[in-house]
Every structure is written in C-alpha cells, then in structure tokens.
C-alpha cells in the first residue's frame, strides 16, 4: 500500500522538485500540494493522508501552528517538518506541536525517504544534522513546557499576529478567521498589551524574529 503524502511549501519549485523525486518511489503517492498553512490544514482534513511534509515558514498560517491543527483534527496523520531552520527552538516547537519528524532542506533525498518510513512505523525521525543537545532537551523533558515563541499569546492571537505581520487588513483577517471586525480589533489590542508593543511595525519585527512569518 502506498504512503499517501501532502506536500506543503510556499515555493512551487520546491514542491515540484519533491514530487518528481517521490514519483520514482512506487510505494509513495503525492495526493495534494499546498502553498500556505491554512490550505494544508484543510487538505489534511479532506484527504486524510498518511503523512504531511511541511515547511515552517508558510504564509497565512505558519507550519508550527498548522501542524498543531492537523494533529488535533486528524490524529492519524503524521507530520514531517522540512525546513531551513536548524535552530533548536523551531525543532522543539514542531515536536511539541505533534510533528513526528524534522528534516533540514539541505538533506539528501534519501533522508526524506528514510524519514517517511520511520514515521509510518510510529517512530520519530530527526535529521542527523540536528545537534544532540536538541534531542536530549526534548527526550529529557517529562512534560511539554509550552510554546517557545510567543509564549503569552493564545493560538488565535498567534494567527491574528501572523496575518497582521503579513499586511492583511482588519477586515480581511476577520473574514479569513470567521470573526467580527471588533473581535479582531480586540485581539490586536490584547497582543500589543501582552507584548508591550505600540505599532504594526514592531509587531511585524516580533513575528519575524519569533518565526511566525518569514515575509519572503
């Protein structure tokens, strides 16, 4: 039986390259692609794939929060992060969100193939290039310590913050999240109060620094 995969990356050329490589493996089937975090969450709910391979820096909804939603809505779906970020906080955040694997984008394709089969055997796969410290920090934890980025913000506030940083208007955010304009304005004020920031420019800098968006 084939491993059914959704590829999620905001760079089309990256998705096409991965699809072409995966097509050479008869036991793997790419069932869909997504260019943003919210799209991959919806596709995962609709298609119920075996594995989602996702980048962290995704527009609309970053890969970490998308992973958290995918795992919550579709518990049987495995998530593998494929990212350029080797920083320990991103690795730990993805694992805390429910990812079963983490690869760096400069890894050889054979490593992705190994990761796919590893997570399908209900094991966790981490790229050898990720330091031993990251592994020890995660495995040695007796319980999750909560998000490492935006620790005082709720999941909804993180969503609103990312969309603000990506330049969307209050009305656009309200429509996208199915909220009222007043509710979005309330979230914006709460975010600014919690972070002690006074402008959209400061919010944007914070979101980029904390990995909520890359603004590429």
pLDDT tens-place string over residues 91-140? 888 988 999 999 988 887 888 889 999 999 999 999 887 756 466 665 56
Cα–Cα distance for residue pair 104/118, rounded to 1 Å? 16
How far apart CA 162 and CA 59 sit, in angstroms, is 8
CATH topology agreement for domains 3-139 and 155-209? no
List, in order, residues 6 or more apart from 181 with CB less than 8 Å away.
170, 171, 174
Domain 3-139 bears CATH identifier 3.90.25.10: no
Provide the 10 A C-beta neighbour count for residue 57.
22
DSSP result, 114-153: HHHHHHHTT--EE-TTS-HHHHHHHHT-SS----SSSTTS
Least-confidence region, from 122-126, 142-146, 152-156, 208-212: 142-146
Q: What is the tens place of the pLDDT at every residue in 150-204? A: 457 888 998 899 899 888 999 999 998 999 999 999 999 999 998 989 888 888 8
pLDDT over threshold 90, residue 215: no
- Residue 148's pLDDT is 46
Q: Are 97 and 120 in contact (CB under 8 A)?
A: no
Domain range 155-209, CATH architecture: Orthogonal Bundle (1.10)
Domain boundaries, the chain: 3-139, 155-209
Give the predicted TM-score (pTM) of the model.
0.77
Q: Please state, in angstroms and rounded to a whole number, the distance separating the CA atoms of residues 182 and 78.
A: 37
């Amino acid at each position: 039986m084939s491993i059914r995969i959704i590829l999620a990356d905001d760079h089309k050329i990256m998705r096409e390259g991965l699809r072409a490589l995966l097509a050479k493996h008869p036991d793997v089937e790419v069932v869909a692609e997504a260019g943003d975090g919210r799209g991959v969450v919806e596709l995962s709910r609709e298609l119920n794939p075996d594995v989602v391979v996702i980048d962290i820096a995704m527009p609309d909804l970053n890969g970490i929060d998308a992973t958290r939603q995918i795992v919550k809505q579709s518990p049987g779906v495995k998530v593998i992060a494929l990212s350029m970020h080797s920083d320990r906080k991103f690795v730990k955040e993805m694992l805390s969100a429910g990812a079963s694997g983490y690869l760096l984008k400069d890894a050889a394709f054979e490593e992705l193939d190994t990761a796919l089969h590893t997570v399908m055997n209900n094991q966790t796969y981490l790229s050898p290039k990720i330091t031993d410290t990251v592994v020890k920090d995660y495995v040695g934890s007796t319980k999750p310590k909560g998000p490492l980025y935006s620790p005082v913000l709720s999941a909804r506030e993180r969503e609103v913050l990312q969309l603000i940083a990506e330049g969307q208007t209050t009305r656009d955010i309200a429509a996208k999240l199915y909220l009222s304009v007043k509710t979005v304005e309330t979230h914006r004020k709460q975010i600014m109060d919690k972070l002690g920031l006074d402008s959209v420019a400061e919010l944007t800098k914070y979101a980029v620094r904390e990995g909520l968006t890359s603004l590429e």
